[in-house]
Structure 1
Amino acid sequence: MGGIGIWQLVIIAVIVIVLFGTKKLRGVGSDLGGAIKGFKKAIKDEEPTSELEKKPSASLNAEQQVADAEKSQQKD
C-alpha cells in the first residue's frame, strides 16, 4: 500500500534521465566506480604493511640493505 512499486521507480528513473541526461549520469557512475576501486586498492595496500610490521627486525634490516644496494646501483 505505502511502498514504492516498480512503476514508480521506472517513472522516477525516466525523470532523472530527462533532467540530467545520460552523459552526465554515465560520468557520475564512472566516477563513483573509480572511487570505489581506489578505496578497495587502498585497503589492500595497507594489509602488506601490517605483515611487514610482524616480521622480525633482522629480516627488515636485510630487506632495507637490499633496497639500498639496488638504489645505489641505479644511481651508477
Structure 2
Amino acid sequence: MKRLGVRALVVAAGVAATVCTVVALRQDTSASPVSPPEPRSDTSTSDVQRDRRDVERYWTDSRMEEAEPAPMPTEE
C-alpha cells in the first residue's frame, strides 16, 4: 500500500511537470509577434527578386575572388 502512494506521487509530479511545460510553451508561442525595428534614417532597404541562374552566371570565379565585403554601419 505504501509503495502505491509513492508511485502515485511520482506520476502526479510527472503530470504536473508536463502540464507546466505545455502551458509555458503555449504562452510563449501565443504572444504577439515582435515587430522588426524601424530602419534608421541613414539606412535603406529594398526587396530584389533575382533569377537564380542570372545570379550564378554573374558571380564567376574571378568575380568571387575580387569581391570585397560591403561596408557595415557603425554605432555612433
**Which bracket does the TM-score occupy, shorter chain normalised?**
0.3 to 0.5
Q: Which has the larger radius of gyration?
A: 2
Q: Greater relative contact order: 1 or 2 (C-alpha under 8 angstroms, separation 6 or more)?
A: 1
More helix by share: 1
